[in-house]
Amino acid sequence: MADPVASVLPSPVANAPRKRSDLKRLGIFAAIALVVIAIGPYVLPMYMVNGLIRAFLYAAVALTVDVLWGYTGILTFGQSAFFGIGAYAAGLMFTHVGFSTGYAAIALVAGVGVAMLVAGLVGWLAFYHGASPLYGSVVTLVLPIVVTQILFSGGNFTGSSSGLSGFESFDVSIEAWFWIAGGFLVALTSAAWLFVRSDAGRILVAIRENEQRCEYVGINVSRVKIVLMVVCAAIAAIAGYAFAGVQMVVAPEYAGFVFGTELLIWVALGGRGTLIGPVIGTLVLDVSTSYLSGNLPFVWKLVIGVAFVVVIVALPQGLTPLVTRTARRIFGRRETAAPDAPVTFEQSAAAPYAGLEGAGQQALAVEGVRKHFGSLAVLQGIDFAASRGELLSLVGPNGAGKTTLMRCVADGNERSGGTVRINDHDIGRKPPYTCVGFGVGRKFQTANVFETLTVAEALRIARTRMARPSLWSRAGTLPLPEASLQVIRATGLDLQIGTEARHLSHGMKQALELAMVLALEPSVLLLDEPTAGLTKPERTMIGGILVNLAQKHRLCILLVEHDLDFVREISSRVIVLHQGRLVLDGTVAEVVESELVRTIYSGAAHGAPS
Amino acid sequence: MSTLLDILTTAAILYSVCAGLLLVFGVMKIINFAHGGFLTVGGYSALLVTHLGLHPWWAPAFAFVIGAVCGMAIERLVVRPLYSRPLDAILATWGLGIIIGQVITLAFGREVQFVQSPVTGALDLPGGASYSEYRLLLVAVAVALGLTLAAVLEGTRLGLVTRAVIMNENLARALGINSGLVRFATFSLGAGLASLAGALITPLSSVDPNMGVPWLVNAFMLVMVSGVSLVSLAIACVVLGGAQVLVSQWGNPILGGLTIVVLAAFVLRLRPQGFSRG
């Protein structure tokens, strides 16, 4: 984390109205909600007030499920376990020790603390580098099962299957509980709304969209997920604690896997990734369940089941978007969501080698790098070094190991043997986000971007490493290094900063990814066929940019390319790979005139694909 | 001796319960959370056989047919649109499990009911103890099931086509294999097998509308550690099922109930490919 202060400037005036209107909208919503909650206990029947208190607390947990699942893409069955931990913290303390303000405070701290610890453990287990999303879900599924079984086996201490009840609790009227729980929910929803729309909140969506790209722009995805899990666990535990305080009963079901899936059902029906949808979904469904399950016990649950399946299959975004769209149509209002906050680019103070003590001697050193898949050797002892300002092309027929070599340079876990040093730092077994810190920037072969993020958002994600994004607001300016700005302006990306990446043309996506990688201010740039699928003029332009990067910005560029004409025009040096071995390392002229290269391309292989 | 038999029979039961789930996961890359629902369907099919006064031997066959028919309908209506959204498929099939549970509750009531067992005797063991013949029979059933599935996969044209889809669905489709049909057949077969397993396990305990859920979680974890191989599933069932028996016997039954899920989660953390090779 370099110098966040130097590169983040105060927002310009142009952006202020938009931000103010955002905050104003939030303020109006929150105020209306608070007024409704304030008068609620006076107009609603007692039964309803009671039911809503419970629903408010459930909705708070549903909100955490939405942040984890709807925004970040972590399908979790386990939030119920944290709710249960918070509830049992209160239940155990008040049953076995007794009730006093001091004990209540201790119980709260203990409950939240245990929940956070467990969440940390679960996160460590579920979100290791390279874990599949399915595995993460598996772990969150195991958690509530383990917690309920522990509660079952606790005998008199935890009350086993019947739980604990009848303990003394807060001397607070039911109306006051209604205000506390309602106020808690409104505050939480507002905070979550600010967070997911903030610059930092966009990282969650980036992780959902493309975890790999996140790691290759230097974001430690596992850590983000674990921190998020821990925070969400704490919130769920607070809700559970309040639940035990008001209901004066705790039971293993509240920590269970079935409750965990019920939370998912509420979120899915309300509309994942909308915050307000899951809240309303929870309130409506929980309250109507407590009314209807008396009259139509099994039919009601059947209806919920059918609605859930239908929504997942046919309306993955849930009912909220449907309702808002219909409302707009009825009231004749146009979509108000569209234009994104205007962001202005500006040039940042150059900060190459951010986080490193110095530039070091050698930009890139590859020594004896080997890679094999089982018995198949793909790379067999590759040795070369490259300095700053070199534009080194890597050529060779398909299957020569070019892309594999790129991978071995950018991710410490890829190679089977040998050493890779970036700016004199041994990458060891370090994951991609650490290698980015050493100065590597990797552009993938096929454009690897965040499909639903706008150009500006994607570029900001790429700057996360340099400038810690705000947790609650959106900056109006985006400082980018000169090289990145050059690409953006030359390709016309600056005219589409509010466009989502999925609406960009193929060439523009490639340009966006290149701009993102350059925003990292790498000193070693890895490019895997950056011109594949581009038109001739686009190619020439990219070539010019690359030469400029190497000569003017002194980047060390490693380029995989099939188009030998292109290579000849821009390279300062060429390395030829063949069947996993480095067969030639020399100037463009040496390689072009080499008999060996001609044999490889025309004889052994079947002509050079270009 | 009886511990050894416990391990063997537990592994056999787990294997029968998991086979359908494994098949669906292997071919479709989808976790079928309605698997528990299909087990319940099988249990109640067996109950119906008892009610109709048929010989209990009819139960497994009857259950298989009912399960497969349910599977066909569900594949068409629910699973097919979710091929490209595997996490959503988990949720939708979980919702299906709820629906199946509620429909059964409406039809049969929520109380626990009992099913007639086809074999009631006990086998005398050397040393004076005796062991349930039905549990031993289930070992033979599991072995037969495994061999039949292997024979179908390795020895028939359908199996060849299925293996092609497992390895590379896009290529298989490009070669003119109707992968949609393969998926349809697989899901129906998986549902049928789950239902069959449900009918097999009911004589050991009882039937109730939520009987499938505890099995589902264990089966899910076992399939996760097995990859997509029938052999590694057998290994996983013996190792983790065995651990469950031992923990229940020497530790306590509640810990025993957790053994499979916790061990499986840690196995996957340390060795993401689980019990499968490579």
Whether residue A602 is predicted with pLDDT greater than 90 in this model: the reply is no
Flag whether A17 is in a domain.
Answer: no
On whether the CB atoms of residues A576 and A395 are closer than 8 A, the answer is yes
On whether the CB atoms of residues B211 and B195 are closer than 8 A, the answer is no
Residue A130 and residue A200 share a domain: yes
**Tens digits of residue pLDDT in B53-105:** 888 888 899 999 999 999 999 999 898 888 888 888 988 999 999 999 999 99
More confidently predicted of A113 and A456: A113
> In total, how many domains does chain A have?
3
The Cα of B55 is separated from the nearest Cα of chain A by a number of Å equal to 32
Domain span at A213: 29-331
A298: chain B residues, CB-CB within 8 Å: 102, 105-106, 110
Flag whether A344 is in a domain.
Answer: no
Whether residue A349 is predicted with pLDDT greater than 80 in this model: the reply is no
Nearest CA in chain A to B81: A313
Flag whether B164 is in a domain.
Answer: yes
The Cα of A268 is separated from the nearest Cα of chain B by a number of Å equal to 9
Whether residue B107 is predicted with pLDDT greater than 70 in this model: the reply is yes
Residue A45 and residue A188 share a domain: yes
B261: chain A residues, CB-CB within 8 Å: 141-142, 145-146
A299: chain B residues, CB-CB within 8 Å: 102, 106
A132: chain B residues, CB-CB within 8 Å: 272
The verdict on a CB contact (< 8 Å) between A302 and B99 is yes
Flag whether B278 is in a domain.
Answer: no
- Determine whether A349 is exposed, middle or buried from the number of CB atoms within 10 Å of its CB (0-12, 13-18, 19+): exposed
Band (pLDDT 50/70/90 cuts) for residue B144 is very high
Band (pLDDT 50/70/90 cuts) for residue A120 is very high
Closest partner residue to B91 (CB to CB) among A257, A268, A314 is A268
Q: The CATH number of the domain where A46 resides is what?
A: 1.10.3470
Flag whether A346 is in a domain.
Answer: no
* pLDDT, average across residues B47-56: 87
> DSSP 3-state assignment of B199?
helix
Q: What pLDDT does A358 receive?
A: 66
Q: Which of A141-145, A308-312, B125-129 has the lowest mean pLDDT?
A: B125-129
Flag whether A338 is in a domain.
Answer: no
Flag whether A13 is in a domain.
Answer: no
For chain B, give the mean pLDDT: 87
The verdict on a CB contact (< 8 Å) between B269 and A261 is no
Residue A258 and residue A177 share a domain: yes
Whether residue A334 is predicted with pLDDT greater than 90 in this model: the reply is no
- Give the C-alpha separation, A421 to B277, whole Å: 33
Whether residue B278 is predicted with pLDDT greater than 70 in this model: the reply is no
Band (pLDDT 50/70/90 cuts) for residue B159 is confident
Flag whether B241 is in a domain.
Answer: yes
Q: What pLDDT does A605 receive?
A: 46
- Give the C-alpha separation, A213 to A210, whole Å: 6
**Tens digits of residue pLDDT in A179-194:** 999 999 999 999 999 9
**Tens digits of residue pLDDT in A456-478:** 899 999 988 888 888 888 888 88
**Strands (DSSP E) found in A132-203:** 164-165
Whether residue A11 is predicted with pLDDT greater than 50 in this model: the reply is no
For chain A, give the mean pLDDT: 86
Q: What pLDDT does A375 receive?
A: 80
Whether residue A540 is predicted with pLDDT greater than 90 in this model: the reply is no
The verdict on a CB contact (< 8 Å) between B220 and A141 is yes
Whether residue A353 is predicted with pLDDT greater than 70 in this model: the reply is no
Band (pLDDT 50/70/90 cuts) for residue A262 is very high
Q: What pLDDT does A190 receive?
A: 95
On whether the CB atoms of residues A58 and A246 are closer than 8 A, the answer is no
**Which among B1, B16, B2, B24 has a CA at the least distance from the CA of B234?**
B16
> In total, how many domains does chain B have?
1
The verdict on a CB contact (< 8 Å) between B102 and A299 is yes
Closest partner residue to A75 (CB to CB) among B87, B221, B262 is B87
- Give the C-alpha separation, B33 to B42, whole Å: 15
Q: What pLDDT does B240 receive?
A: 92
Q: The CATH number of the domain where A369 resides is what?
A: 3.40.50.300
Q: How many CB pairs under 8 A join A and B?
A: 99
Residue A548 and residue A406 share a domain: yes
Question: In the structure encoding, which two tokens stand for residue B53, read together?
Answer: 């006064």
Residue A239 and residue A126 share a domain: yes
- Counting every residue written for chain B, the total comes to 278
The verdict on a CB contact (< 8 Å) between B265 and A130 is no
Residue A607 and residue A484 share a domain: no
Q: Which residue out of B75, B78, B79, B90 would a mutagenesis test of the A interface target, given it has the greatest number of A Cβ atoms within 10 Å?
A: B90
Main-chain dihedrals φ then ψ at residue A338, nearest 5 degrees: -45, -75
Flag whether A278 is in a domain.
Answer: yes
Flag whether A354 is in a domain.
Answer: no
Band (pLDDT 50/70/90 cuts) for residue B35 is very high
Q: Which of A521, A539, A556 is the endpoint of a domain?
A: A521
Domain span at B163: 2-116+131-270
More confidently predicted of A298 and A8: A298
> DSSP 3-state assignment of A157?
helix
On whether the CB atoms of residues A297 and A258 are closer than 8 A, the answer is no
The Cα of A301 is separated from the nearest Cα of chain B by a number of Å equal to 7
Flag whether B121 is in a domain.
Answer: no
**Tens digits of residue pLDDT in A35-52:** 999 999 999 988 889 999
The verdict on a CB contact (< 8 Å) between A309 and B92 is yes
The verdict on a CB contact (< 8 Å) between B269 and A125 is yes
Q: The CATH number of the domain where B167 resides is what?
A: 1.10.3470
**Tens digits of residue pLDDT in A73-96:** 999 999 999 999 999 999 999 999
Flag whether A503 is in a domain.
Answer: yes
B98: chain A residues, CB-CB within 8 Å: 301-302, 304-305, 308
> DSSP 3-state assignment of B47?
helix
Flag whether B101 is in a domain.
Answer: yes
Q: What pLDDT does A118 receive?
A: 96
Residue A129 and residue A199 share a domain: yes
Residue A591 and residue A471 share a domain: no
Residue A593 and residue A527 share a domain: yes
**Tens digits of residue pLDDT in A476-494:** 888 888 888 888 888 888 8
Q: What pLDDT does A19 receive?
A: 56
More confidently predicted of B197 and A566: B197
The verdict on a CB contact (< 8 Å) between A142 and B262 is yes
Q: What pLDDT does A62 receive?
A: 97
Flag whether B122 is in a domain.
Answer: no
A145: chain B residues, CB-CB within 8 Å: 217, 258, 261
Q: What pLDDT does A541 receive?
A: 85
Q: What percent of chain A has pLDDT over 70?
A: 92
Q: What pLDDT does A228 receive?
A: 96
- Give DSSP secondary structure letters for A90-123: HHHIIIII---HHHHHHHHHHHHHHHHHHHHHHH
Residues of chain A with a CB closer than 8 angstroms to some CB in chain B:
73, 75, 125, 128, 130-135, 137-139, 141-142, 145-146, 149, 152-153, 257-258, 261, 264-265, 268, 298-299, 301-302, 304-306, 308-309, 312-314, 316, 374
Q: What percent of chain B has pLDDT over 70?
A: 99
B278: chain A residues, CB-CB within 8 Å: 374
Flag whether B160 is in a domain.
Answer: yes
The verdict on a CB contact (< 8 Å) between A308 and B98 is yes
Question: In the structure encoding, which two tokens stand for residue B152, read together?
Answer: 């179908």
Residue A528 and residue A496 share a domain: no
- What number of other Cβ atoms are within 10 A of residue B171's Cβ? 11
Q: Which of A521, A538, A566 is the endpoint of a domain?
A: A521
Flag whether B156 is in a domain.
Answer: yes
Q: What pLDDT does A1 receive?
A: 36
Q: What pLDDT does A175 receive?
A: 92
Residue A318 and residue A260 share a domain: yes
Residue A42 and residue A83 share a domain: yes
The verdict on a CB contact (< 8 Å) between A312 and B92 is yes
The Cα of B265 is separated from the nearest Cα of chain A by a number of Å equal to 6
**Tens digits of residue pLDDT in A415-438:** 888 999 998 889 988 999 999 988
